[in-house]
Amino acid sequence: MKYDLVIKGGKVVFRDEVKSVDIAVKDGKISAIAETIDDEALRIIDAKGQYVMPGMIDTHVHICEPGRTEWEGFVTGTKALAAGGTTCYVDMPLNALPATVDRKSLQIKLNAAKGKNYVDYALYGGLVPGNLEKLEELSEEGVVAYKCFMATCGSELPDDFKNVDDYTLFMGMKKLAELGAVLSIHAENAEMTDRMGQEMMKQGKTSATDYVASRPVFTEVDAVKRALFFAKETGCKLHFVHVSTAEAVEEITKERNKGMDVTLESCPHYFTITTAQFEEIGPVAKCSPPLRDEAAQAKLWEKLIEGKIDMLTSDHSPCPPEMKFSDSNNIFEVWGGITGCQNNVDLMFDEAVLKRNVPVTDFVRMIAYNPAVRFHLPTKGEIAVSKDADLIFVDPNQSYIVQKEELYYRHQHSPYIGRKINCRVTKTFVRGNLVFDLHEGIVGDPKGQLITYHSKAELLTP
Ligand SMILES: [Zn+2]
C-alpha cells in the first residue's frame, strides 16, 4: 500500500486558505496533498461536508499526576483532550506534586506520564523562589518553556508550586534570556488581589460577583506592565497566559509593535461566560483572573477579531467536586480553576467562526499554528507535507448539548454542561492514528509521544 490513510473530500484548512483536497498519510506524517488522491491506502475516510483542520495544540493544561492524580490524571485528561480535538498539549509545572521545578521533579513527572497519553505532549518547567540555579537543567531535560505566577498560588505543602517575588521574577528573566527560553506569566498583582479578597470576606461579601470585584481589571494590567518592563530590562521572551482583559492585550500589543518578543493567550471561558453567568453557574466557573462582565467580554472579542489574540488555550485546571461544592457558600474558599479542555475547539469554532464570522484560517492559527511556533513544536501546527498527521474533523452541521456523561475528565463537572454547541468534533488523529471517533469514543491505546526542546542547544547552533 502506498499510504496508510487517505482523507477524501474535506474542506481542508490551511494557514491562509481553505481548499477541498485529499490528504494522504504515511508513517504518521502527511505525505501528499492533492485535488484527488486515488492511490491505494490501508484506510480511506470520507470527510465530505466537514472541516479538516490541524489538531489543537493546547499549551495550558494542568495534569495533576503524580501527587494529585485524584484531581486529574494523564489517562483521563488526555482522553478529554483527544475527544475535544486536541492532538498535543503542554503540561503546566504546577498542581502535580512535586511541582516541576528541577531535573528531579521533571523526571518524576516524565515517569508518571509514560504510556498514559492519548495525545502528544511537552512539558513546562517552573520558575519559583529558590530555583534560579535549576533553570538550566530544566532546559537540558527539554522543557519547551517556563512558567511563573505573579499572583499568589500553591499551598503550604513543601513540594508545591510557589509564586515569584520580584527578585526571582527579574533574575529568572535574566537567566532565561541567556538560555533563549520563553517565560510564561500568570499576571495579576498578588498583594492587591489577596488583600481585596480578604477585605471582601471580612465584610461577608462572598458571592461570585464579589470574587470578581476583588480582582479588578487593573490588577491584571498592572502586573502585565511590570512584567513587560522587567522584560525590557532583561531581554527575556515573554508569553502571557490566560489574558482576560482587552486592556492587558493592548499593553502587550504596544510592546510587541515596538519590537519586543512577546505573545499572549486567552481561554474560551473569557469569551463565553460573563460574571453574571458565573453567578448563575456557580463554583465550577471560578478561575483567576476571573470571568469579566459583558462589556469587558465584548472588548476582548474585539481583540480576537482584530487578530490580537495569538492563541487559545483551555487552562484546564481540574479538581475533585468536593473542592468546588463546599457547604460554606463562600466562593473565595472553593478551588479556582475550570475543567474545560474537552470544549475548546467546538465551543470557540461555534462562537468565533460560526457566530462572529472569524475566518476559519484565523481560528486555525490561534489553536494550532501560533502555539506550535511559540512553543517549539516544529513538526506540528499546520496541514502541510511532512508535518505530523495530527488532524481533526469538525462538522459544522451537527449541534449538540454538552452532557456530563460525555466528559472524559476524572470528575465530570464543567461550566459548559447544558450548553448548546453548533458544531462537533467527529474525529481526532494523532500521527495518523485515529484516537477519537464520535461513534466509537476513544480508540486504541495511549500512544502519545513526548516532544522536547533544548533552548540552549539551539542558541549555540549558528
Ligand atoms: Zn493555569
Q: What is the pLDDT of residues 171-223, one digit of tens each?
A: 999 999 999 999 999 999 999 999 999 999 999 999 999 999 999 999 999 99
CA of 80 from ligand 1 middle (Å) equals: 17
Residue 429 has pLDDT above 90, yes or no: yes
The grid coordinates of residue 451 equal: 516532544
**CA–CA separation, 15 vs 368, rounded Å?**
9
Instruction: Of 32, 82, 92, 41, give the one whose Cα is nearest residue 62.
Output: 92
Chain centre distance of CA 98: 21
Residue 375 confidence (pLDDT) above 60: yes
C-alpha–C-alpha distance, residues 286 and 267, integer Å: 13
In the reported structure, the alpha carbon of residue 185 is separated from the centroid of ligand 1 by a whole-number distance in angstroms of: 10
CA distance 9 to 244: 38
pLDDT tens for each residue of 110-144 = 999 999 999 999 999 999 999 999 999 999 999 99
CA-nearest of 352, 451, 414, 361 to 141 is: 451
pLDDT computed for residue 233 by the predictor: 98
Residue 462 has pLDDT above 60, yes or no: no
- Ligand 1 centroid vs 264 CA: distance in angstroms? 13
* Global pTM exceeds 0.95: yes
451: left (phi over 0), alpha (psi -120 to 50) or beta: beta
Residue 244 CA neighbour count, 13 Å, CB half: 29
* Cα–ligand 1 centroid distance for 316 (angstroms): 7
Contact 428, 392 (CB under 8 A): yes
Q: Quote the pLDDT of residue 328.
A: 72
Model confidence at 409, pLDDT cuts 50, 70, 90, reads: very high
> How far, in Å, from the CA of 60 to the mean position of ligand 1?
6
Distance 326 CA to ligand 1 centre (A): 22
| Nearest residue to 182 via CA among 230, 144, 128 | 144
Q: Are 422 and 93 in contact (CB under 8 A)?
A: no
How is residue 234 written as a grid cell? 532583561
DSSP string computed for 151-208: S----SSTTS--PPPHHHHHHHHHHHHHHT-EEEEE---HHHHHHHHHHHHHTT--SH
Rounded to the nearest whole angstrom, what is the distance from the C-alpha of residue 186 to the centroid of ligand 1?
Answer: 8
Q: What is the Å distance from ligand 1's center to 10 Cα?
A: 34
pLDDT over 90 percentage in the chain: 94
Q: What is the mean pLDDT of the chain?
A: 96
In the predicted model, what is the mean pLDDT of residues 264-275?
A: 98
Closest CA to 306 of 376, 355, 358, 364: 358
How far does the centroid of ligand 1 lie from the alpha carbon of residue 383, in Å? Answer: 28
**How far is ligand 1, taken at its centre, from the CA of residue 289, in Å?**
10
How far is ligand 1, taken at its centre, from the CA of residue 29, in Å?
31
pLDDT at 307 over 60: yes
Which residues, by Cβ under 5 Å, contact ligand 1, an ion?
Answer: 315
What is the whole-number distance in angstroms between the Cα of residue 418 and the centre of ligand 1?
A: 24
Of the candidates 274, 341, 352, 284, the one whose C-alpha atom is nearest the C-alpha of residue 314 is 341
More confident residue, 327 or 164: 164
- Is the per-residue pLDDT at 460 higher than 70? no
State in Å: Cα 370 to ligand 1 middle.
19
Residue 432 is predicted with a pLDDT of 98
- Is pLDDT above 60 for 3? yes
Q: What is the mean pLDDT of residues 430-436?
A: 98
Tens digits of per-residue pLDDT, 140-157?
999 999 999 999 997 888
* C-alpha span between 49 and 55 (Å, rounded): 18
Looking at 24-28, 45-49, 209-213, 457-461, which range is the least confident one?
Answer: 457-461
Between the CA of 37 and the centroid of ligand 1 the distance, in Å, is 42
117-140: b (≥16 Cβ within 10 Å) or e = bbbbbbbbbbbbeebbebbbebbb
Residue with cell 525590557: 232
Instruction: Give the per-residue pLDDT at 422.
Output: 98
Please indicate whether residue 461 or residue 177 has the higher confidence score (pLDDT).
177
124 Cα–ligand 1 center, Å: 11
| C-alpha 386 – ligand 1 centre gap (Å) | 32
Rounded distance from Cα 357 to ligand 1 centre (Å): 28
Examine the pLDDT at 461 and tell me if it is beyond 80. no
- CA 343 / ligand 1 centre spacing (Å): 16
User: CA 95, CA 64: separation in Å to the nearest integer?
Assistant: 5
**How many whole angstroms separate alpha carbon 246 and alpha carbon 266?**
10
Please check the confidence at residue 386 and state whether its pLDDT lies above 80.
Answer: yes
What's the first-to-final CA gap in the chain, in angstroms? 41
Where in 254-402 does DSSP place strands (E)? Answer: 262-266, 311-312, 391-395, 400-401
